[in-house]
Each structure stands twice: as C-alpha cells, then as structure tokens.
Amino acid sequence: MRMPNPPGPREDTGVEKTLRRAAGLLLLLLVLLAPVLVLLSYPSCLLVASVSAALLPAVSRHPDRRAKALFMACSLAAFAAFLVSYLQVGVGPFQVPGGFSNEFRQLHRALPPAAP
C-alpha cells in the first residue's frame, strides 16, 4: 500500500490573504486614530494602551515587518500625543509665573497649599 505524499509548505488561501490585508488596514487606522483619541480625552489613553497590549502578542508573531512597523508607529504616535497633551494641559498652567496660584486665589480667596 502506498503512503500519501506529505503535505507541502502551507499555502495561503484567499481568506488568509484578505485577513492579513485587513489587519494591516486596521493597524493603519489605529495609527491615525490613536493620537486623535488621546488628544480628545485622557481616558482614551487607557483604551489605546489596552488595544496595544492586546495586539502585542499577535504582532510579535506576525512574519510581516510592515505590521510590526505599523504597531510601533501607533504606539509612538499615541505616546507622543499623550506627552504633548500632558505638557500643554496638565503641566502648562503650573509653569507660568503665578498661573495656578492666581487661579486658586481668585476662586478661593486664599493662598494655595504649600508643595510637599
């Protein structure tokens, strides 16, 4: 009795190619949307970080360098947007002379508490 030939190298089907292309488009969309979301609200930072953490294992196993580059671009763009937003909104009012102190005095008619 003759044994069947062992299967050859795995060939991509049309579905796998479509899924791979869709994954690239989704990563590209995430690269474009992540900075906008981060600039709109701080809680979206948690959403973007969660999506990045969930995608990390799949992207690290992906054979295509393009997917890894898009993932890194998404992560760096989200981090840069967070840093810009934090420096402009979170820290900016404290860096101008009397910025936060003036606002505190106007609202509470008292001196702000001393820094620890």
Per-residue pLDDT reduced to its tens digit, 35-91:
898 888 878 888 988 988 888 888 888 788 888 898 899 899 999 998 888 877 766
pLDDT in the model for residue 108: 67
15 within some domain: no
101 within some domain: yes
12 within some domain: no
36 within some domain: yes
pLDDT in the model for residue 21: 73
45 within some domain: yes
Q: Which DSSP string corresponds to 11-77? A: PPPHHHHHHHHHHHHHHHHHHHHHHHHHHH-SHHHHHHHHHHHHHHHHHHH-S-HHHHHHHHHHHHH
* pTM to 2 decimal places: 0.62
79 within some domain: yes
**pLDDT bracket for residue 13 (50, 70, 90):** low
pLDDT in the model for residue 80: 92
Residue 56: give the domain boundaries: 21-108
3 within some domain: no
